[in-house]
Structure 1
């Protein structure tokens, strides 16, 4: 009968049902569409950048070629049919019209070659192989050169560092190639290269596979579990409000006069709202599996994983229900329960890694994140979806979620019993 009562209350609140079921679906679609670009390879998105080439020689041509071949950038040297100057590039970038401008200085290639020649001549002469024609080169003073980078002030630090590292690598390769070539010329060798110029050390990423198929993370695998947890925990708000209503309207007094313990009343609320949590979960999964492919997003792969995901959702739902019951029991008015419930869910989501990955947080916040039930649920979902984990791998997380439910409900029952005794 307690379950029936809670069901009737929810049926009469149509707006609340819309918030519980429709708003999370809108949220997950919107956020996933926005974040999808960050999970795609850079070759899928070309960023327009400005290039001011004052060198017009080997280095500038190599930089332009590498930028174009990277597939990440669209290199622009003209705007409205006119060549770009440093002043125009600086103005356009600082106004946010472009993310980046690269300014290559004059005589960069020729001065680099002169500098390399000087260094090679010194080394060769130390072996007693001095060439009289190299005297003029040794005596020339060559000022250091710098490639200027203008970034949009709103550009993320990670993008800046990535571009700097890429350009630094290009220039280093050009310098190395120049040194090898100059040595070959000084040694009087033929056209065939004496020195191998290919990189000896390379990097290879090893990713987990299932049935010889690589498991690559995407926006859907992050957003479906993350925002499902957010939606599940948001039932804290209507649940706590209903409990406060029962107290203010006198319904709770009538309930506790029945010859049943308060735990039975709580069990009815738990069962009802846990069903709601599972409906939310399956709706979110259905959106990821069936709707996302039709709007240009990757489909959520739940083959062989839905059962374990359902287990995680059940225990996450229990944790959310326990938190809602505790809040509703402690709060005296709806003005206390509603704002505090919504704010606390947002805080738990932020702490738990729903918005920002935990590894990107400061050390203090990384430690605090481990006490968020959303973090436990999110890690359990990741263990199933991305790490191909089984029941043993998620046992710790679901045990913590169950313990959180037991503790919160126990505190709520004890507080209610103490308050009625007084």
Structure 2
């Protein structure tokens, strides 16, 4: 039995040697992919980016509000604010045209008399409040109430920018304006009640503090490497579906599988040989990508992946992810009749599984229906298990549900493949 299994593994290795270039691509392409994507995404995980985003500011107000908006944008260290073209103040039409053509990502247009009208509105509201409490001089001449229209701060966005960028910018500007309004209200009350008697504290009373998990009294802060290494490792592992399914189709078309079945070799031995061979390939892929993340990334300006306490658990997760990928490859190869069917279907289906599994877009950002569908993707189970180990610092017991689902997926797909093959041969 052991000898038959050994020969089955040897057969798979000989098949792979015939397409040595394809095998090398299986190892090289994932490394290129993980380095490229991580470099591109690294700045999104940093608090401060070295490159500022240039934005346009059209100021029709020239008051305290516009000054405060300008100062806050400059202090954010995320934007470089431009107010002039060729030493001339930017007009709204110029800003609109420049943004809509994609030259700039954002233009902010502050309306006329914003500071003046905001102060007038606040003064009216303060006077009315104090009057209701009887804190104003009844002999004083009442001011005529002026009708003040609501002001709009216009934001022009490049149509190509992401929705998350739009929401972040609008939230930041809304917060700036709210702070200015609050400070103006306090100042109006101080003026009416006498500054010497009342000194309002104008700093924010409520602040937000992020509490992050700790290991050995060190904070675990997520970065681009911790997200990309497991995601693209999974992606690379599942791409072994292509060579595995093609080899199965070759065996059927060349009659190799029929010759194997005429010998006293059980189908499970053949499947076990394929599983062992391709599981070794999956683990080599995983350790190569891990080595790149630990040793190469620090030399190209990326944070190194910390695997000190997680190496064994990460290896276990990778092992079961390999099982799931192999089971899917066996199923595709068994059902497909030609290489032209197995290769395109295998690659396309892997991309779909990655998309719905959260490799490209986080599951929480998907529509409700897609979040439910994502729970059925083996890549989602593997990704969650990797995140549990790397980011949530859990133990073996906590990842048992995910790795159990991955192994169950391998068993189910393999059984379906064997059942389909048996039924097809008996027809």
2:358 to 329, 345, 353: 353
Counterpart check, 1:229 vs 2:234: yes
Instruction: Report the Cα offset of residue 189 of structure 1.
Output: 3.4
Counterpart check, 1:373 vs 2:378: yes
CA contact (8 A) 1:124 1:130 kept: no
Counterpart check, 1:164 vs 2:193: no
2:74 to 68, 77, 97: 68
C-alpha distance in 2 between matches for 1:141 and 1:130: 23
Counterpart check, 1:404 vs 2:409: yes
Aligned to 1:130: 137
Unaligned runs of 5+ in 1: none
Counterpart check, 1:386 vs 2:391: yes
Higher mean Cα deviation, 120-129 or 207-216? 120-129
Tell me the alpha carbon deviations over residues 380-410 of structure 1, each in whole angstroms, 9 at most, x when there is no partner. 1001100001110111111111111111111
Instruction: Report the Cα offset of residue 131 of structure 1.
Output: 6.4
Aligned to 1:241: 246
Tell me the alpha carbon deviations over residues 12-50 of structure 1, each in whole angstroms, 9 at most, x when there is no partner. 212211221111111111111122222222554421111
Secondary structure in structure 1 of the residue aligned to 2:142: helix
Aligned to 1:334: 339
Q: TM-score normalised to the size of structure 2?
A: 0.95
Distance 1:165 1:134, change over 3 A: farther
Tell me the alpha carbon deviations over residues 282-318 of structure 1, each in whole angstroms, 9 at most, x when there is no partner. 1111111111111111111111111111111111111
Counterpart check, 1:200 vs 2:205: yes
Secondary structure in structure 2 of the residue aligned to 1:139: coil
Aligned to 1:293: 298
Counterpart check, 1:97 vs 2:94: no
CA contact (8 A) 2:324 2:410 kept: yes
Tell me the alpha carbon deviations over residues 249-295 of structure 1, each in whole angstroms, 9 at most, x when there is no partner. 11111111111111111111111111000000011111111111111
CA contact (8 A) 1:121 1:130 kept: no
C-alpha distance in 1 between matches for 2:174 and 2:210: 22
C-alpha distance in 2 between matches for 1:388 and 1:163: 33
Aligned to 2:20: 14
Higher mean Cα deviation, 385-394 or 6-15? 6-15
Unaligned runs of 5+ in 2: 1-6
C-alpha distance in 2 between matches for 1:79 and 1:44: 24
Runs of 4+ that moved beyond 4 A: 42-45, 131-134
Higher mean Cα deviation, 31-40 or 281-290? 31-40
CA contact (8 A) 1:237 1:342 kept: yes
Q: CA RMSD in A?
A: 1.6
Tell me the alpha carbon deviations over residues 102-136 of structure 1, each in whole angstroms, 9 at most, x when there is no partner. 11122211221122112222222233323666634
Secondary structure in structure 2 of the residue aligned to 1:112: helix
C-alpha distance in 1 between matches for 2:270 and 2:295: 38
CA contact (8 A) 2:332 2:346 kept: yes
Secondary structure in structure 2 of the residue aligned to 1:283: helix
Aligned length in residues: 420
Counterpart check, 1:141 vs 2:129: no
C-alpha distance in 2 between matches for 1:212 and 1:125: 57
Distance 1:304 1:134, change over 3 A: farther
Aligned to 2:4: none
Instruction: Report the Cα offset of residue 418 of structure 1.
Output: 2.5
Where does 1:6-45 land on structure 2 (aligned, <5 Å)?
A: 6-45=12-51
Q: TM-score normalised to the size of structure 1?
A: 0.96
C-alpha distance in 1 between matches for 2:156 and 2:311: 48
Tell me the alpha carbon deviations over residues 61-105 of structure 1, each in whole angstroms, 9 at most, x when there is no partner. 111111111111111111233221111111111111111111112
